[in-house]
Structure 1
Amino acid sequence: MQLMRRRRYRSAAALAVLVLLAGTTLWLRPTGGLSGGASSPPERARARQAVHQGARPVIVPRRAWHAESVDTAPGARYAPSVRAAVIHHTSTPNGYDCATVPRTLRDLYAGHAYGRHWDDIGYNFLVDACGTIYEGRAGGVDRPVVGAHTKGFNEGTVGIAAIGTYTRGEAVPEPMLDAIARLVAWKLGPRGPDPRTEVALVSTHDEARYPKGTKAVLPVVGGHTDGYPTRCPGAALYAKLPDIAARAARLQHR
């Protein structure tokens, strides 16, 4: 009798262990951790949000080219993010010595801030023929500063000006193209659009190519002429924009 009781006890204990193990297995399966199944929902979400951003290039700060400041200038305005790059040219002479660029920047600043009463230079960044990138408009190079470079589409774009005149027949220096691509790859941000694609932006000005309030589909790497009736950035530089976009995409490991 005592032997039968011990056997029944051992059988009941074994059954309890099996039930516990079965319950543990069922509880573990949805996580995918021990069962070898799919990843958890947060892991799948992180995988879908691929990060694409180029390295931050070297940028010469405003203080290095002795940027002035208008006493009445309002504080910088910021967009939620940078969704597109608008490429310009400055329409200043080519063939310059890159050592003279700071003086050119001061002249451009005076024309924008005082001549046009913009309170600051309009472009967010400027790039010279040697591939040097200069900080333009104040507010922080790593922040989505709203510039004054294209009527209707300053919000959510970065204005990059190539120093010189790049109309049809002019050669666009290779170091300049490389620097613009590196700047675009960085400023579009880690979750920004593919530089080779298009983006929908809403016009904020009736003098743009699209009336105020109109949703326009524009290149992520586009020229000033895409959103505003102008010949800027010149036919030679405009023809290079697809190449700049492709370079930026490669730098973002797309």
Structure 2
Amino acid sequence: MRGFLASSIGVATAAALALPLALPTPALAESAAPAGPAGSTQSLPLVPLGPGRDRATGAPGMSASPRVPEAQGLPAREVKTFSLVGVVWDDAATELLGSVQVRTRSVDGGFWSDWQDVETHNSEHAADPDGAERSSGRVRGGTAPLWVGPSDGIEVRVQAESRVRTLSSLPTGMRIELVDPGEVRPPAPDDKNGSTPTDGDTGTDGGTDGGTDGGTDGGANGDHKGQPSMVPGMTMEMAESSLANVPHAPLGATEIAELNKADATADAVFAGDAVEAAARPYIGPRPKIITRRGWGADESLREAGFVYTQSVKAAFVHHSASGNNYACKDAPAVLRSLYRYHVVSSGWRDFGYNFAVDKCGNVYEGRAGGIGKPVLGAHTMGFNSNSMGIAVLGTFTASEPPQAAVEAVAKLTAWKLGLFNADPRGKAVLKSAGGNKFPRGRNVSLNVISGHRDGFATECPGKRLYGQLPPTRTASARLQGRP
């Protein structure tokens, strides 16, 4: 692919680096949503790059048949500020058999990045094939999103695989989505929908945050009020940039109260009738969870109402495949960008995952509906029912996941799976709703803590994170108090 566009891209790159980019057409402004505190999305159509090939024979040159471009993209151009990119196309069932690369110009310094790869296999992060969310008519195919940080210039190239260039292999209607997360000021510590945790807070789990219960807020013993919380593997730099002043779902309080006042509390299980969590023998201490309000979710974007399944029998661990180039203080902006990409660009009803974890081990509420409930997500096509999805922010194919993030996954699963009496070291039987690994209707035995690849043929959650799942199961069970 790199050879195919080498000469033309070299010229374009040199020009882009030498000259300031200008906003090329009024159409760009028309395609962008109005800027505002809730963020915006620019959606720009990709155009053919280079010569085409005959649709029937695959041969280059003149032909009466329509010609298929071997590559599509977008020449270097100036755009409104954005921080996350992804490519979407019309048909969610169509796979992009090829590669996607982007270059971006940083707002801070005005320099262009090197070409960055965008993960193309993203369709497996989606609603089940026959689900209402999947058949809404708004769902589009798309790559994984890539976090690039505040940028105001973009160049894109998409190329079909060499083995399929004789076919109409590139999806129709490809567009580059440029997402601006917007600026959101965290609510004050006494906000009615959340509270700022401090060391020494005692909750209904019977433990003391940051104390002998294992640090349910991600803190370590001996932390002092006003000092950054530390967990094993967290550097002081990471701790200082952690999210100490955003609201966390308080212990024993009602989640997202202003959206659904009848929502379950964190200490009750949704199973037709409320069952006290304390009645179950193995429930890990509840970690502090940053609410949707805490990370600035624009609730007007998602569909109203919530969809629940019967239970939470298993947890699927994912990586967001959005790159590792973010600071923990930027994680709320990353989440707001992912949320907009899932809903506005991809057409999903809400954020796809039930929870997210950043590199510092902060845990975030994902899809709305109540963190103690079995909310139906769109994370593991074929196995969204009776499961939950946890996305670790980053890409862990070749990079090791931070220990703080791995420990946060163990803490979160110990609590949430414990609410539904699930042993993290055990097996769960889930019925497939259809996918590329198990046919629809098959009952499949899976680990209670599984990687995405266990239910769908994918690289997710990356080789390195997947390799951390066996010790995570052991740690989660230990936190539940299991022998």
How does the TM-score come out when normalised to structure 1?
0.77
Equivalent in 91, 100, 109 of residue 330 of structure 2: 100
For 2:305, the equivalent position in structure 1 comes to 75
Residues 124, 72 of structure 1: CA spacing in aligned structure 2 closer, same or farther, 3 A cutoff? closer
For 2:321, the equivalent position in structure 1 comes to 91
What is the CA–CA distance in structure 2 between the aligned matches of 1:71 and 1:126, rounded to whole Å?
Answer: 19
**Does residue 224 in structure 1 map to residue 461 in structure 2?**
no
For 1:253, the equivalent position in structure 2 comes to 481
What is the CA–CA distance in structure 2 between the aligned matches of 1:110 and 1:230, rounded to whole Å?
Answer: 23
Query: Whose helix proportion is higher, 1 or 2?
Result: 1
For 2:417, the equivalent position in structure 1 comes to 188
Residues 80, 236 of structure 1: CA spacing in aligned structure 2 closer, same or farther, 3 A cutoff? same
What is the CA–CA distance in structure 2 between the aligned matches of 1:150 and 1:215, rounded to whole Å?
Answer: 15
SS for the counterpart of 1:108 is helix
Conserved 8 A contact 1:66-1:106: yes
Superposed CA offset, 1:8-50 (max 9, x none): xxxxxxxxxxxxxxxxxxxxxxxxxxxxxxxxxxxxxxxxx96
SS for the counterpart of 1:188 is helix
- Alpha-carbon distance, 1:130 to partner: 0.5
- Alpha-carbon distance, 1:155 to partner: 0.6
**Does residue 171 in structure 1 map to residue 396 in structure 2?**
no
Equivalent in 202, 225, 234 of residue 431 of structure 2: 202
Conserved 8 A contact 1:70-1:113: no
- Alpha-carbon distance, 1:114 to partner: 1.5
Superposed CA offset, 1:181-234 (max 9, x none): 0000011134522211211100112x2421111101111100111111211000
Q: How does 1:1-254 map to 2 (within 5 A)?
A: 51-70=281-300, 73-168=303-398, 170-205=399-434, 207-254=435-482
4+ residue segments displaced more than 4 Å: none
Conserved 8 A contact 2:320-2:395: yes
How does the TM-score come out when normalised to structure 2?
0.41
What one-letter code is carried by the residue in structure 2 that aligns with 1:96?
Y
What is the CA–CA distance in structure 2 between the aligned matches of 1:51 and 1:204, rounded to whole Å?
Answer: 32
Q: Could you tell me the percent identity over the aligned residues?
A: 45
SS for the counterpart of 2:418 is coil
What is the CA–CA distance in structure 2 between the aligned matches of 1:71 and 1:94, rounded to whole Å?
Answer: 26
Conserved 8 A contact 2:428-2:448: yes
Conserved 8 A contact 1:51-1:190: no
Bigger relative CO (Cα 8 Å, ≥ 6 apart): 1
Query: Whose strand proportion is higher, 1 or 2?
Result: 2
For 1:43, the equivalent position in structure 2 comes to none
Residues 74, 152 of structure 1: CA spacing in aligned structure 2 closer, same or farther, 3 A cutoff? farther
Conserved 8 A contact 1:151-1:208: no
- Alpha-carbon distance, 1:78 to partner: 1.1
Structure 2, unpaired ranges of 5+: 1-278
What is the CA–CA distance in structure 2 between the aligned matches of 1:137 and 1:81, rounded to whole Å?
Answer: 16
State the Cα RMSD in Å. 1.5
What is the CA–CA distance in structure 1 between the aligned matches of 2:349 and 2:383, rounded to whole Å?
Answer: 18
